[in-house]
Structure 1
Amino acid sequence: MTSGTPDAPDASNWITLFILSIVWGAAFMSMALALEGYGPLTVAAGRTGIGALALLILGSALGQGLGRVPGRQGWAMVSLIGLLNVALPFALLTWGLQYVPSAFAGVSMGASPLFVLPLAILFSPGESADLRRVIGIVVGFVGVIVLVVPGGELASGGENEMPGRLACVTATLCYAVGAILTRRAPPMPPLTLTGGMLLVATAVLAPFALIFDGLPEVSVSRATLALIFVGLCPTGIAFFLRVRIIQSAGMIFMSLVAYMVPVWAVIFGVFLMGEELQPSLYIAVLLIVAGVAAAQWSSLSRLFRR
């Protein structure tokens, strides 16, 4: 059982964070592979459905089923998180991945703390905006601009390449909002919250997938195996770990995963997918990481002193 706190994350928090970074780093490659055989909304609905099924079965076995959601207020928050933190960003990511490399999508996730910090300052009384944080946020957002503005062809996305980039960055904003909402959710077991929000996301995405993608033709293929993997690991298991970290060690600590996910996404994209990346992407990574580090310097210093 994780026993860390936002002021003192323990060893299990750090280990979980590292595992989560690898699993999420592989998610973008897996989604790109799944798109070889399925439409974008089908991939989004499929991963949430598989993840929800796995977590609801596990949650029921461990006494953390949907019956542990605390009343209407709890269900309202679970539904809101399911919509903004799962359904919307998943749909945006899978659509965007049709037009940009998987490594690009992974790097865009590195900008998540840049959205989390301003939101935390606005909605958390204990957070403040000092000069270092402001400079860090500005530098980081310059990196986001470098990431989004075309600097050469990243993929054969044609006219949809720019919308694809914007879709990935918008998904990152959705994750940041979701982190704030998760921290403010009524107390409930992590499996309950995670399974509930994935179930809500599936209920939202499935009808749109049927309307726009049609009934999928399921076969034993690389795309199907990738979809099963992304549903079980980067969705079901990873979202459970994410909720557990946020509830235990806080959203600032959770945002540290943004330093690691882009690295794994680039490694998987370049070495396993054979993607060719433009120099502007690496410049964007440096600016984003530098900005996040400066903006989080006080929090990082406290974490590493303990």
Structure 2
Amino acid sequence: MKAPVKGNFLENSINTRHWVMVSSLGVVWGSTFLFIELALQGITPLWLTSARIVFAAVITSLVWFAYGGKLFTTNEKAWGRLGLIGIISTALPFQLISWGQQYVTSSFAGLAMASMPLFVLPLAYFFKTNENLDLKKFIGFIIGFVGIIILFSPDFSSSNDVSPLTTLGKFACIAAAFCYASNSILMR
């Protein structure tokens, strides 16, 4: 067993494999919004959401069966919470993003997901007793919040479309990010 080398964490821990993995995640997650935009040209948001969930359920089930198909919990009380997590982490944000992308670009939808950590901070502070809010976190939160305001400004949009549906589409994408943030608190 190799002893850990003292020094810079990044120098000792991150290698090419890690960069490939992070880059792959970026491509997969980022391209999702482009594919949603393309799919919405032929199907409704509800059909798209349903197809995404069914596809994921089939793949997850195949992996689950490949690893023996055992339930990870037999506690019946946990199923209600797991159902809530499934709705908040998957069904609701998928639908919000699909509906919102009828009125906003895929690039806006992708950028809107970057607001998720901004929602985690206040949610963790109010719902988790061990979360501290120091000046550094508060300043970061304010800077991020200003970024969301800039995202909503008409000057940011290439189309300068300030129609009510465009605004609702933007809110739907931000609400999806809020769902993901809420899920991260529920999963702790």
TM-score by length of 2: 0.82
If each structure's helix is expressed as a fraction of its own residues, which one has the higher value?
1
Distance, in Å, in 2 between the alignment partners of 1:134 and 1:113 is 12
Moved over 6 A (4+): none
Distance, in Å, in 2 between the alignment partners of 1:14 and 1:119 is 30
Distance, in Å, in 1 between the alignment partners of 2:111 and 2:35 is 15
Aligned to 1:88: 92
Aligned to 1:28: 33
Aligned to 2:124: 120
Q: Is residue 35–residue 98 contact of structure 1 (8 Å, CA) maintained in 2?
A: yes
1:73 alignment partner, one of 56, 72, 77: 77
In structure 1, runs of 5+ residues without a counterpart are 1-7, 185-306
Identity %: 39
Aligned-pair distance for 1:17? 4.2
Deviation string for 1:75-106 (max 9, x for gaps)? 11210111111111111100110111100000
Q: Say whether residues 1:19 and 2:41 are aligned partners.
A: no
1:46 alignment partner, one of 51, 63, 84: 51
For 1:74, give the aligned amino acid: A
Aligned to 1:291: none
Q: Say whether residues 1:176 and 2:181 are aligned partners.
A: yes
Map residues 1-306 of structure 1 onto 2, 5 A cutoff: 16-63=21-68, 65=69, 67-151=71-155, 154-155=158-159, 158-182=163-187, 184=188
Aligned-pair distance for 1:151? 2.6
Structure number, greater radius of gyration: 2
Distance 1:153 1:20, change over 3 A: closer
Distance, in Å, in 1 between the alignment partners of 2:79 and 2:21 is 27
In structure 2, runs of 5+ residues without a counterpart are 1-8
Over the aligned positions, Cα root-mean-square deviation in angstroms equals 2.5
Distance, in Å, in 1 between the alignment partners of 2:146 and 2:162 is 24
Aligned-pair distance for 1:32? 0.5
Distance, in Å, in 2 between the alignment partners of 1:116 and 1:158 is 29
